[in-house]
Structure 1
Amino acid sequence: MKKLIIALLLVAVSASFSLASDVITYAEGCKKGSVTFDHKSHGEFVENGCKNAACHGDATPAKIAVDKKTAHGKMCKICHKNAGGPTRCGECHVK
C-alpha cells in the first residue's frame, strides 16, 4: 500500500511539472499587471495549434519574447480581436 501511495505521489508531482511548463507569466514591464499565458489552451483553440505560423512564425516553437508593442499589435491583440478573445486591459493583465 505504501508503494502505491508513493508511486501516485511521484506521478502527481511529475504531472504538475509538465503542466507548469505550459503556463508562462509575463510580468516584466507590465504596469497594468502580469499576463499569464496558457499555451495548452491557446494551442487547442488555434487551428492547427503550433503549426499555425501566427505565433511562432517559421521558427521552432519556443518561449516567445513578447513586449507591449508585439502583444498589443501583430501578435496577441489582433488574434484576440479576430477570434473573439479578450481585448480589454483587465481581461489579460492581473495585478
Structure 2
Amino acid sequence: MKRIAPLLIVLLINVPVVKAADTMIFPSKNGNITFNHRRHIELLRECKNCHDKTPGKIANFGKDYAHKTCKGCHEVRGTGPTRCALCHRK
C-alpha cells in the first residue's frame, strides 16, 4: 500500500484534465467549422501545443489564429484539412 499512494499521486499530476466538449462547432460566415477536440487530444497528447494554459481557452483564438496555427500544424504534419472547404461547411 505504501508503494501505491506515491504512484497514484504521480499519475494524477501527469494526467491532463480536459473539460472541453468532445466536438466543438465554431460559427463562421464561410460555413461553420466542426472541431473534434477529442481526436486532437488523442493525437497530440500535449495541451500546450495549442493552449497557453492548461486547461483553458486559447488566447486570441479566431480566424487569424486558426489560419496560422491550426492550418500550419496540419501542413507540417501532413495530415488534417488545409483547404477552406475542408473546414468550412455550409
TM over 0.5: yes
Cα distance, 1:52 vs structure 2: 4.4
Any unmatched runs of 5+ in structure 1?
Answer: 1-19
- Could you list the per-position Cα deviations for residues 34-86 of structure 1 after superposition, in whole angstroms to 9, with x for gaps in the alignment? 1111111111122xx1x2422013x122243631111101x211111111221
**Matched AA of 1:44:** E
Q: How does 1:22-61 map to 2 (within 5 A)?
A: 22-27=22-27, 30-46=28-44, 49=45, 51-57=46-52, 59-61=53-55
Partner of 1:53, secondary structure, is helix
Measured against aligned partners, the alpha-carbon deviations of 1:5-57 in whole angstroms (never above 9, x if no partner) come to xxxxxxxxxxxxxxx92111110xx22101111111111122xx1x2422013
Looking at structure 2, the residues matched to 38 and 61 of structure 1 have their Cα atoms a distance apart, in angstroms, of: 16
**Aligned pair partner of 2:63 in 65, 68, 90:** 68
Aligned position for 2:84? 89
Q: Within 1, Cα distance between the matches of 2:73 and 2:22?
A: 19
Percentage of identical aligned residues: 45
Report the secondary structure of 2:50's partner residue.
Answer: helix
Higher helix share: 1
RMSD: 1.8
What is the total number of aligned residue pairs between the two structures?
69
The whole-number CA distance in structure 2 between the counterparts of 1:22 and 1:76 is 17
